[in-house]
Chains A and B, each alone.
Chain A
Amino acid sequence: MARAVTTRRKALNTAIAWTIGLLIFFPILWTILTSFKTEAVAIANPPVFLNFDWTLENYRVVMERSDYMRFLWNSVIIAGGSTVLGVIIAVPAAWSMAFVPSRRTKDILLWMLSTKMLPAVGVLYPIYLLCIQLGLLDSRIALVVILMLINLPIIVWMLYTYFREIPGEILEAARMDGASLKDEILYVLTPMAVPGIASTLLLNFILAWNEAFWTLNLTSVDAAPLTAFIASYSSPEGLFFAKLSAASTMAIAPILILGWFSQKQLVRGLTFGAVK
Chain B
Amino acid sequence: MGRITLDKVRKTFGEVEVIPPLDLTIEDGEFVVFVGPSGCGKSTLLRLIAGLEDVSGGQIRIDGEDATMVPPAKRRLAMVFQSYALYPHMSVRKNIAFPMRMAKMPQHEQDRRIEAAAKALNLTDYLDRRPGQLSGGQRQRVAIGRAIVREPAAFLFDEPLSNLDAALRVGMRMEISELHKKLDTTMIYVTHDQVEAMTMADKIVVLRAGHIEQVGSPLELYRTPRNTFVAGFIGSPRMNLIEGAAAADLGAHTMGIRPEHIDVSTGAGQWQGTVGVAEHLGSDTFIHIHGIPGCDPLTVRADGEVSVRHGDTVHLTPQTQHIHRFGADGLRIA
Interface string of B68-84 (1 = CB under 8 A from A): 00011110011101110
Does B73 lie within 8 Å of A173, measured CB to CB?
Answer: no
A193 to B102, CA, bound (A): 20
Are A172 and B73 also in contact (CB < 8 A) when A177-B102, A178-B99 are?
no
- Which residues of B are found within 8 Å of A177, using beta-carbon distances? 73, 78, 98-99, 102, 146, 150
Task: Tell me if A176 is interfacial: C-beta within 8 Å of chain B.
Answer: yes
Are A178 and B85 also in contact (CB < 8 A) when A172-B52, A173-B79 are?
no
Does A192 lie within 8 Å of B88, measured CB to CB?
Answer: yes
Interface contacts (Cβ under 8 Å), in number, total 62
A175 to B74, CA, bound (A): 9
Interface string of B208-236 (1 = CB under 8 A from A): 00000000000000000000000000000
Q: How large is the interface on B (under 10, 10 to 19, 20 to 34, 35 or more residues)?
A: 20 to 34
Interface string of B39-82 (1 = CB under 8 A from A): 00000000000111000000000000000000111100111011
Interface string of A28-42 (1 = CB under 8 A from B): 000000000000000
A167 to B77, CA, bound (A): 21
Say whether chain A's binding surface is mostly helix, strand, loop, or mixed.
helix
Does A188 lie within 8 Å of B87, measured CB to CB?
Answer: yes
- Which residues of B are found within 8 Å of A172, using beta-carbon distances? 52, 72, 79, 81, 85
Q: How large is the interface on A (under 10, 10 to 19, 20 to 34, 35 or more residues)?
A: 10 to 19
Does A180 lie within 8 Å of B73, measured CB to CB?
Answer: yes
A143-180 contacts to B, CB under 8 A, are 167, 169-170, 172-180
Does A170 lie within 8 Å of B50, measured CB to CB?
Answer: no
A179 to B78, CA, bound (A): 12
- Which residues of A are found within 8 Å of B82, using beta-carbon distances? 169
Task: Tell me if A273 is interfacial: C-beta within 8 Å of chain B.
Answer: no
- Which residues of A are found within 8 Å of B72, using beta-carbon distances? 172, 175-176
Task: Tell me if A183 is interfacial: C-beta within 8 Å of chain B.
Answer: yes
Q: Which of A175, A178, A192 contacts B89 (CB 8 A)?
A: A192
Task: Tell me if B103 is interfacial: C-beta within 8 Å of chain A.
Answer: yes
Q: Which of B79, B86, B87, B88 contacts A176 (CB 8 A)?
A: B79
User: Quick one: which of A177, A179, A192 has the most chain B CB within 10 A?
Assistant: A177
Are A169 and B85 also in contact (CB < 8 A) when A177-B102, A179-B102 are?
yes
- Which residues of A are found within 8 Å of B73, using beta-carbon distances? 175-180
- Which residues of B are found within 8 Å of A101, using beta-carbon distances? none
Q: List 13 A-B contacts (CB under 8 A).
A: A169-B85, A172-B52, A172-B72, A173-B146, A174-B87, A175-B71, A176-B50, A176-B77, A178-B74, A178-B99, A180-B73, A187-B98, A192-B88
Chain A positions near chain B (C-beta within 8 angstroms)? 167, 169-170, 172-180, 183, 187-188, 191-192, 194
- 7 A-B pairs besides A175-B71, A194-B89 with CB distance below 8 A are A167-B85, A169-B85, A175-B73, A177-B99, A177-B146, A179-B98, A192-B88
8 closest A-B pairs by beta carbon, nearest first, are A173-B85, A178-B102, A177-B99, A169-B85, A176-B79, A178-B73, A191-B89, A175-B72
Chain B positions near chain A (C-beta within 8 angstroms)? 50-52, 71-74, 77-79, 81-83, 85-89, 98-99, 102-103, 146, 150, 156
